[in-house]
Amino acid sequence: MIHQLIFAAPKPGMTEQDFHRYWLDVHAVRYASRIPQIRRYAIDTRLPEPGEGGEPLWSGIAEIWLANEEEQLASLQTPEFLEGARLDEPRWAAFWRTVVLDTDTETVLPDVPETSVQPGVKVVTLAKRREGMSVEAFRRHLRERHAPLVTELPGLRRYDQSVTRDGWYALSEPPFDAAFHEWFDDVEALRSARRSAQQALVDDDRRNFVNGRYLHSLTVRQHWVIGPRSR
């Protein structure tokens, strides 16, 4: 199944709060959720972090699950997309800042079943492999060396790794090679994990295979529109 991640930001002059409200209450309900090929659909709204400054790159993430490439292509040709979701996007989103990744997602730590509502917050981290490293070596390090370190984080409830699908590399170099999803019960559990010695080990290991210039994290709350069970 294709797990598509769409990183979005509000249009100029729109507050993040209004952006989230429109996305959840209008765009998702009236337009995106009506595209018949979408099997599951969640919106992740950004939670501000203490001490952060400046405008964030993105204010949320759409997570869309589609059965295969054929259904993905068909979804882009439906009136629900062409006359609905696509035409609505400029009303609320800065579409020129949108980043889209088609990924294959593997659950490494399945503490919470996929068909259940996940814990309160999660961190989604976008990563690009370090210069000179092959995609195969990046993925191997991610699975064999990095994943065991992440799963030892205190309070971690679920951990998924989303790697960019192979087809993207046949066309061009994608902006990112992977996204990591780390779930925690609440913000305090997340902050406690970040203060831990294990988090320092995770950060140190990332320097071995990730280009730090292209490492971006969002703390978000997940809202199901279609799901968590597939329709």
- Residue 31: predicted pLDDT: 98
The string of DSSP codes covering 74-93 is HHTTSHHIIIIIHHHGGGTB
Instruction: Assign domain 104-219 to a CATH class.
Output: alpha beta
User: Rounded to an integer, what distance in angstroms lies between the CA atom of residue 37 and that of residue 25?
Assistant: 21
Residue with tokens 């659909």: 41
Q: Are 147 and 161 in contact (CB under 8 A)?
A: yes
Taking residue 211's Cβ as centre, other Cβ atoms within 10 Å add up to 17
Mean pLDDT, 10 residues at a time, over the chain (231 residues)?
98 97 97 98 93 86 98 98 97 96 95 80 97 97 97 96 95 94 96 97 97 95 95 90
**Domain spans, the chain:** 1-97, 104-219
The hierarchical CATH code for the domain 1-97 is 3.30.70.100
Q: How many CA atoms lie within 13 A of 53 on its CB side?
A: 0
- Residue 126: predicted pLDDT: 98
User: Rounded to an integer, what distance in angstroms lies between the CA atom of residue 144 and that of residue 105?
Assistant: 16
- Which of 3, 18, 31 is closest to 59 using CA atoms? 18
- Residue 51: predicted pLDDT: 74
Beta bridge partners of 122: 183, 220
Residues 214, 134, 69: CA angle, nearest 5 degrees: 80
For the whole model, what pTM was predicted?
Answer: 0.95
Please check whether the two domains, 1-97 and 104-219, share a CATH topology.
yes
- Residue 148: predicted pLDDT: 97
- Residue 52: predicted pLDDT: 74
